[in-house]
Amino acid sequence: MPQEPIKLKILDAAGRVLLTAPAAEQVSLVYANAYAPGDRVALEIGQPGQYCVVQFEDTMPPALVYVRKREINFAIPFGEQAAVYDPKSFAGNCHVVRARLASGEEIAARRNLAFNPYDAHGDTGFYPHAAANVETRGEAVFAARNAVDGVYENDAHGVWPYQSWGINRDPEAALTLYFGRPVTVDELRLTLRADFPHDSWWTQATVRFDDGSEEVLSLKKAAVPQRFPIAPRSVTELTLCNLIKADDPSPFPALTQIEVWGTEAASL
């Protein structure tokens, strides 16, 4: 075990350390100040390529993530970027931030490998990570990361809890999930946005895996998660594409959540 398995810090826009704690296998910070624009949470790990359970905001759920960089950062959202989070999140002058090394049992368990409410644009250095070739008007409420944040409310659209992946009416829209290491996938679940009649829906979608295989999914007009068991395969990424819109007056199909169920591909 590395001497410094995990260290948490709060930094400001200039990179100054506002608060830190001694390194350990499980750490937490209590930051007794209001956040300011440019503040961020930084997680350092002694050895890149580890599984950690992180909770960068105490009103949000913990998430098991795979960390590939020596240090990863989570920017505290302000303004338009904050619209996809609970208004209680990041507010006030007392914040608890937690991180720990994941247990072997947690890592080995079958789970939703796409879940990461702390995902963001760019090379975050931790996985899962969602990215898309189009996001409606570039707005945070329609970003790809919204489809992996674990928020399933879908009877409206816009600010939290109704954020979604919006495709800006683009028939070539595609969303890619990166896992950062091999995983074994055995089930897909899609939750479509269901703000009917404002919304339309997709009747078909294709999921392409980086092993060269693909699955064609038949979808229906429904607000509940639609489940698709598939033959298990080991992959490091997949792309949701070839989205076929229903013959419906609305031009606005969108995705509320994508789930990818399975296990780690490598034995522990």
Q: For residue 87, what pLDDT is reported?
A: 97
Whether residue 245 is predicted with pLDDT greater than 70 in this model: the reply is yes
DSSP string, the chain: --SS-EEEEEE-TT--EEEE----SEEEEEE-S---TT-EEEEEESSSSEEEEEESSTTS--EEEEE-SSEEEEEPP-GGGGGGS-TTTT-SS-EEEEEEEPPHHHHHS-EETT--TT--SS--SEESEEEES--GGG-GGG-GGGGGSS----SS-SSTTS--EE-TT-TT--EEEEEEEEEEEEEEEEEE---TTT---EEEEEEEETTS-EEEEE--S-SS-EEEEEEEEEEEEEEEEEEEEPS-S----EEEEEEEEEEESS--
Q: For residue 123, what pLDDT is reported?
A: 94
Q: For residue 109, what pLDDT is reported?
A: 98
More confident residue, 33 or 21: 33
| Average pLDDT of the residues of the chain | 96
Q: pLDDT tens-digit profile of 93-120?
A: 999 999 999 999 999 999 999 999 999 9
At residue 1 the predicted structure's pLDDT band, cuts being 50, 70 and 90, is very low
Q: For residue 266, what pLDDT is reported?
A: 66
Q: Percentage of the chain surpassing pLDDT 70?
A: 97
Q: What is the mean pLDDT of residues 240-265?
A: 97
Whether residue 202 is predicted with pLDDT greater than 90 in this model: the reply is yes
pTM reported for the whole predicted model: 0.96
Whether residue 267 is predicted with pLDDT greater than 90 in this model: the reply is no
For each of the domains in the chain, give its residue range(s) and CATH number, in order of start.
6-108 (no CATH), 111-264 (2.60.120.260)
Q: pLDDT tens-digit profile of 35-68?
A: 999 999 999 998 899 999 999 999 999 999 999 9
Q: What is the mean pLDDT of residues 244-260?
A: 97
- Strands 226-245 and 202-209 come out as antiparallel
Residue 108 identity (one-letter amino acid): A
Whether residue 223 is predicted with pLDDT greater than 60 in this model: the reply is yes
Rg (alpha carbons) of the chain, rounded to whole number:
19
